[in-house]
Structure 1
Amino acid sequence: MSLSITGKTAIVTGAANGVGLAIARHFLAQGANVMFADRDEEGLATEVGAAQTEDGATARYFAGDLRERLTVANLLSATLDAFDRVDVLVNASRQIMVTDPLDPEDGSVSALLEQNLMTPLRLSQAVANRMIAQAEADGDDEGMIGAIINVGSIAGRRTQPELLAYSVSAAALDQATRSLAVSLAAKRIRVNGLAVGSVMSANLKSRLKEVEGLRQDIIDATPMGRIAAPAELAEAVQFLASDAAGFMTGQILTVDGGRTLIDPVVQPAY
């Protein structure tokens, strides 16, 4: 089976910076048509414009708050206007918040469930329905018709009280991935996820400046002894989007430098 995604059309969320941007750039370089989606319109315009690669793949961008249902519909419409179809959805937008587990007024759990679970779930539902409709219109009744990849976190498997909200939302996204995979398998749509460890996202860059010793704590907790670059996740996502993963669905691929293989007494956040 081929790893090629040439000619496929992908929506990548969180694509103005960090992990989402790295995935979107990689897909574009691999010959896919890519809709970069994010709230940061200035960042999107800077990164994308109307970029054209040598092999003809095209980038477009869409700016909006995908927590709003109408914005989800508008993103899908914009993608269809630009490319006529959608074959791959990468839900790469994530938000991290520190939680006070003993504060009843702390709203981080509801906020992150909305951002990290409900937003990718609604977009996945909208895109899946479009994939089904376009397959019917094309008379395509053999093989897989689409792939959805959810970028989550190993926090969903760890116990870190200060990241209660993030951990709960990550675990919920993993379960949503598995549930959607079963629901959509008969529709010939694969749904998989990534559980990532410490990756040099915009959020982590900020935390490393704020928290003394955090970088070394992360390195010490990671058997491979370093923090991942965002681009390192992109090829894993490409694999899940490609025909090479054609018999994989409902799987959470761990990309964490071995961090979940050990259990240090002091486990650094992020």
Structure 2
Amino acid sequence: MLFLFLVAILFYAPWLALMLIKASQDVSIPDAIDTPLILEAAATAFSNWLTLMAVLLCALSLRLLRQRSVQFLWWWLVVVVVLTLIVNRFIPFLFHIRHLLASLPAMLLLAAAGLIQLQRWRWAQSIICGLWLVMGVYLSFHPTFASDLPGALRMISRPGFEAALQAIEQNADPADAVIFRLTGADVEYLYAPPLDYYLYGSSLRYSLLSMVNARDDVLIDDASFVNTPFAERLAAFIGDSSRVWVAWVKNLPPDAQTEALNHLLAESYSLCPAVIEMPDMALEVYSRGNSCAD
């Protein structure tokens, strides 16, 4: 029986290698986070910025290592972290610390086991619990705690975004082209559902810059989307519009898509004198002929 099992594995091995190669090609992310950074970020965030204290408490739990429950927790923590990092080494997919979230319960329970070892010093237990609670509440209200984590999506100013929407809805015509640039092209498609929510029922023809002239149900890796050059999609979206509205988040670095947009606008449009400034965002209007005055 064992021999037949080994023979089956031998015959399946080439297909297993092919499966792993294919999975690597489909799942790999160019901007995946490397191992040192993901470990540092996860340890800092999961411990409420109290990394050293969490490490010491987990180390104290080793005094209970003879207990099966503690052994299980340590196996849980080590296997999840090590296995995730090994897979990430060959198939880069880690772009946020949430991919290590399965290790958080084990880490917290080990820290609690270590805290029990300090029962002779109740005052120390009270200080540690109080400090952990205070830091948790503080980070819950920290304005950039989540957005500063590696791989986090850029936070958009709500006042600036709503001001841009209001200006566009009050002044743009259905025949105009409205383009938003809210973040980098590689992840901007994630902002499409919120944009559709805010503009639900609007007659305006709008799009994210990276998603211009794409179907509503298109996937970011769909062949019909990827194989069409961006400049071609952009030109098709703008078409013969008399005006083009461009709203973007300030401080975003230029890229190939913004260069293509600027080149197209410079060829056929002129910038209207009224450039609307708002918190963290800017809005420009480009026109053909005298449509600025409309």
Whether the TM-score (by the shorter chain) exceeds 0.5 is no
Which of 1 and 2 has higher RCO (CA within 8 Å, sep 6+)? 1
Q: Which structure's residues are more often helix, by fraction?
A: 2
TM-score (norm 2): 0.21
TM-score (norm 1): 0.22
Select the structure of larger CA radius of gyration: 2
Q: Which structure's residues are more often strand, by fraction?
A: 1
